C-alpha cells in the first residue's frame, strides 16, 4: 500500500510539473496523496524525513504546486505529536522559508515559523541541555540543570493555574514514587505568584521517594531566558535528560516519560554488555568468515575474528553492511541470528546474554579476542 501511495504521488507530481499551470483540483489531489505518504514516514529518523521532504519539494517545478506542497508538509511536521518531528519543521524553515525560496501560505506565517524555530532549536533531542541560572524558594541562585551529577533528570515546566499541568501533576505524583533509579526532578514554576508557588510546594506537591530528588525553581524576573532555551511557549512541558545531560526526550507526558525512562535504563544495561577491553567467550558458532575475496562457511571461534557482525538476512540494513564488509581488512565473522534461533537455542541465549543484540546489525571489532569497538559500521 505504501509503495502504491509513493508511486502515485510521484507520478502525479511529475505529471503536474509538466504543465505551465496547475489547477486547484490537481493540487488538492496531490496534497491528499502526500498526506497519506507522510504518515508512513512516522517511524523514520528526522534525517530521513528531511531528505524525503526536500526530494518531494524539489520534484515540484510549478511555483504554486511547490508552495502548496511545502506548506502542507510544514504544517504536518510543526503540529505533529511524533517526537523529533519539530526538527523537520525547523529544517524546512531554515532551508525553504527563511531564504524566501518558497513563500509561506499566509501573512505572518513566516514570523510564526521563525519564532517556533528560535524557541526550539536549542533543546532538540540529542543536544546537551542548555544551562541557565534560576532561583530556589530561598532566592538562592541555582544552575539548572546540574550536569555534574550522575543521575538522569526530568525537567518539568508548569503553572499552578494551568489545568493541563494539574492533570499531569496528578499522574506524576502517582508515578515518581515508583521510580527505582536515582532521578533528579526539576519542577520549574513559570508563573509570578510567590504565594501560589509556596502553597503548591508546601501542600500539594508531596512525594515520598528514596530515589527521586525534587528541586523547586523559578525565575521571577525572567532574566535566565529559559523559555527560549527550552521552547516553553505553553505549559506543561517535560524533558528527560541522560546522565551526561543529553536530551533524551522532549514534549513528554507521564506515560511517555515512564516508557522512555524504562528504555534508557534498559539501553544502559545493554550497552554494558561486552564492554571495551573485555574478552569475548571462547565459543564456536556457525557463520560466514569473510577475508578479502575469500568467503568460507563453517563453525568458527569468536576470538579468531577481527570483526563480529550479528545480522538478520531479512534486514535491508544488514545486507547493505554485508555488501561493504569485504572492503575492510581482517577477518569478518558474519553470524545469522535468525538461523541461530532455529538451530541452536542454547547458543542463541548465550550470545544474547553476552552481546547487545537488541537491534541488528551489530558490529564489534576485536583484537586478540578482546573488544576494541562496538556499534560499528562498514559503510563509510
Q: What confidence tens digit (pLDDT) does each residue in 230-273 have?
A: 999 999 999 999 988 999 999 999 999 999 999 888 888 888 89
Lowest-confidence region among 59-68, 275-284, 299-308 = 59-68
Measured distance CA(170)–CA(164) in Å, rounded: 10
> What does the pLDDT read at residue 59?
85
> What does the pLDDT read at residue 2?
44
Query: Which of residues 335 and 3 earns the better pLDDT score?
Result: 335
Asked if residue 14 has pLDDT above 90, the reply is: no
pLDDT in tens, 178-219: 999 999 999 999 999 999 999 999 999 888 888 999 999 999
Residue 22's pLDDT band (boundaries 50, 70, 90)?
A: low
Asked if residue 107 has pLDDT above 90, the reply is: no
Asked if residue 21 has pLDDT above 70, the reply is: no
Asked if residue 1 has pLDDT above 50, the reply is: no
Query: Is the peptide bond between 361 and the residue preceding it cis, with omega within 30 degrees of 0?
Result: yes
Asked if residue 17 has pLDDT above 80, the reply is: no
> What does the pLDDT read at residue 13?
56
* CB-based burial, 156-194: b 16+ in 10 Å, e otherwise: bbbbbebeebeebbeebeebbeebeeebbbbbbbbbeee
The class level of CATH for 284-373 reads: alpha beta
> What does the pLDDT read at residue 146?
83
Residue 100's pLDDT band (boundaries 50, 70, 90)?
A: very high
- State the Cα angle at 25 between 24 and 30, rounded to 5°: 95
> What does the pLDDT read at residue 19?
45
> Does the model's pTM come out above 0.85?
no
> Phi and psi of 367, rounded to 5°?
-140, 115
Query: Is the peptide bond between 145 and the residue preceding it cis, with omega within 30 degrees of 0?
Result: yes
- Give the distance from CA 310 to its chain's centroid: 24
Average pLDDT over residues 341-365: 92
Residue ranges of domains in the chain: 2-118, 132-271, 284-373
- Cβ-contact 340, 347 below 8 angstroms: yes
> Phi and psi of 84, rounded to 5°?
80, 0
- Give the distance from CA 162 to its chain's centroid: 28
> What does the pLDDT read at residue 8?
46
Asked if residue 99 has pLDDT above 70, the reply is: yes
Asked if residue 65 has pLDDT above 90, the reply is: no
Asked if residue 4 has pLDDT above 80, the reply is: no
Lowest-confidence region among 34-48, 158-172, 348-362 = 34-48
> What does the pLDDT read at residue 96?
97
Lowest-confidence region among 1-10, 19-28, 161-170, 285-294 = 1-10
Lowest-confidence region among 13-17, 257-261, 270-274, 317-321 = 13-17
Dump strand ranges (E) for the chain.
Answer: 132-135, 141-144, 152-158, 183-189, 212-218, 237-241, 247-249, 284-291, 294-301, 307-311, 332-336, 362-367, 370-373
Tell me which fold the domain 132-271 belongs to.
Glutaredoxin (3.40.30)
Query: Is the peptide bond between 170 and the residue preceding it cis, with omega within 30 degrees of 0?
Result: no
- State the Cα angle at 154 between 148 and 155, rounded to 5°: 95
Judging by DSSP bridges, how do beta strands 152-158 and 294-301 pair with one another? unpaired
Average pLDDT over residues 52-75: 90
Judging by DSSP bridges, how do beta strands 332-336 and 307-311 pair with one another? parallel
Query: Which of residues 281 and 2 earns the better pLDDT score?
Result: 281
Q: DSSP string covering 76-144, please?
A: HHHS--STTHHHHHHHHIIIIITTTSS--SSTTHHHHHHHHHHTTTTS-TTSBPPPEEEE-TT--EEEE
Decide: residue 249, CB within 10 A, 0-12 exposed, 13-18 middle, 19+ buried: buried
Average pLDDT over residues 111-126: 94
Give the three-class secondary structure for 322: helix
Measured distance CA(236)–CA(289) in Å, rounded: 54
Q: Residues near 9 by Cβ (< 8 Å), separated by ≥ 6? A: 30, 33, 34, 37, 56
Q: Find, among 157, 210, 368, the residue nearest to 282 by Cα.
A: 368
Query: Per the structure block, which three cell numbers stand in for 69?
Result: 506542497
Amino acid at each position: 500500500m505504501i509503495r502504491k501511495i509513493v508511486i502515485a504521488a510521484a507520478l502525479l507530481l511529475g505529471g503536474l510539473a509538466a504543465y505551465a499551470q496547475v489547477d486547484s483540483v490537481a493540487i488538492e489531489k496531490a496534497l491528499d496523496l502526500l498526506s497519506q505518504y507522510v504518515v508512513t514516514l512516522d517511524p523514520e529518523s528526522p534525517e530521513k524525513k528531511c531528505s524525503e521532504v526536500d526530494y518531494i519539494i524539489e520534484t515540484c517545478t510549478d511555483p504554486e504546486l511547490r508552495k502548496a506542497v511545502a506548506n502542507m508538509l510544514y504544517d504536518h511536521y510543526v503540529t505533529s505529536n511524533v517526537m523529533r518531528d519539530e526538527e523537520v519543521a525547523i529544517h524546512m524553515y531554515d532551508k525553504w522559508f527563511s531564504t524566501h525560496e518558497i513563500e509561506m501560505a499566509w501573512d505572518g506565517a513566516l514570523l510564526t515559523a521563525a519564532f517556533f524555530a528560535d524557541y526550539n532549536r536549542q533543546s532538540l533531542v540529542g543536544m546537551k541541555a542548555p544551562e541557565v541560572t534560576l532561583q530556589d524558594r530561598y532566592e538562592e541562585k541555582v544552575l539548572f540543570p546540574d550536569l555534574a551529577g550522575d543521575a538522569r533528570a526530568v525537567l518539568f515546566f508548569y503553572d499552578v493555574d494551568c489545568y493541563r499541568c494539574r492533570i499531569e501533576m496528578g499522574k506524576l505524583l502517582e508515578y515518581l514514587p515508583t521510580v527505582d533509579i536515582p532521578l533528579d526532578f526539576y519542577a520549574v514554576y513559570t508563573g509570578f505568584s510567590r504565594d501560589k508557588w509556596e502553597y503548591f510546594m508546601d501542600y500539594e506537591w508531596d512525594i515520598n521517594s528514596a530515589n527521586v530528588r525534587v528541586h523547586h525553581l523559578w525565575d521571577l524576573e525572567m532574566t535566565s531566558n529559559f523559555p527560549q532555551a527550552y521552547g516553553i511557549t505553553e505549559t506543561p512541558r517535560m524533558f528527560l535528560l541522560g546522565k551526561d545531560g543529553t536530551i533524551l526526550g522532549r514534549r513528554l507526558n507521564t506515560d511517555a516519560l515512564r516508557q522512555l525512562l524504562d528504555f534508557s535504563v534498559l539501553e544502559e544495561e545493554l550497552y554494558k554488555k561486552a564492554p571495551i577491553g573485555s574478552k569475548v567467550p571462547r565459543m564456536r558458532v556457525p557463520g560466514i568468515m569473510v577475508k578479502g575475496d575469500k568467503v568460507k562457511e563453517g563453525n568458527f571461534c569468536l576470538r579468531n575474528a577481527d570483526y563480529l557482525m550479528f545480522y538478520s538476512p531479512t534486514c535491508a540494513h544488514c545486507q547493505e553492511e554485508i555488501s561493504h564488509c569485504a572492503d575492510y581488512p581482517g577477518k569478518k565473522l558474519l553470524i545469522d541470528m535468525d538461523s541461530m534461533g532455529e538451530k541452536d537455542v542454547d547458543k542463541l541465549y548465550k550470545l544474547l546474554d553476552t552481546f547487545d543484540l537488541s537491534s541488528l546489525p551489530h558490529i564489534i571489532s576485536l583484537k586478540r579476542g578482546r573488544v576494541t569497538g562496538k556499534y560499528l559500521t562498514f559503510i563509510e
